[in-house]
Amino acid sequence: MSRIGKKPVTLVKGTSASVSGQTIEVKGPKGTRSFTAGDDVTLTVEGDTIKVTPRGMSKRARQQWGMTRSMVDNLVVGVSEGFKKEMEIQGVGYRAAMAGNVLKLSLGYSHEVNFEVPKGVTVTSPKNTEIIVEGIDQQLVGQVAANIREWRAPEPYKGKGIRYKGEFVFRKEGKKK
């Protein structure tokens, strides 16, 4: 039995869900999202809850049960609250600035990095050392944040680079004479 799959997903006030076949569509104040579940699970909407049940007890059905429930829960959270990744830049001369739909990053390279922000995600830079990535799709928000961080991941000797807010960077000791 899946501990996660057994729990029903409750719809937050202001959101609605509809199921057609294996596709569930959730509408909320921040937008509309949909997810197509596999054939091993059944989706049902009962009042203000969404239930996910397996179609049998095969290993694949039990695997899809918990995963599908988590995906449906992420749809509800995304259209009601949204997802957010906060990042900070550390290093002398490292900075970020938004110019229209392009994030301009100065990261110690001989050139400025221009990161094109994809559709469905909002990137802001309230300070020149902070970046905030927001959107209703958790996977897309995480992927965009990872792509930005990839330009200069924090290095272990001085800790310079782009890191997630609250991330611990293991520091190494430098060479000794």
The enclosing domain of 118 has a CATH number of 3.90.930.12
pLDDT tens string 146-161 = 999 999 999 999 989 9
- pLDDT tens digits for 23-47? 999 999 999 999 999 889 999 998 8
Q: Residue 99: which of 78, 128, 76, 73 has the closest Cα?
A: 128
In a domain? residue 169: no
For the stretch 44-65, pLDDT in tens is: 998 899 999 998 888 998 889 9
Q: Considering only CA atoms, which of 27, 53, 50, 49 is closest in space to residue 38?
A: 53
Residue 1 binned pLDDT confidence (cut-offs 50, 70, 90): low
171 located within any domain? no
Amino acid letter, 6:
K
- Separation of alpha carbons 157 and 20, rounded Å: 54
Mean predicted confidence (pLDDT) in 116-138: 93
Report the alpha-carbon distance of residue 164 to residue 142 in Å, rounded. Answer: 11
Quote the number of domains for the chain.
2
State which residues form the domain around 55: 3-80
Residues 103 and 50 grouped into a single domain: no
- Taking all residues of the chain, what is their mean pLDDT, rounded to a whole number? 91
pLDDT for res 145: 96
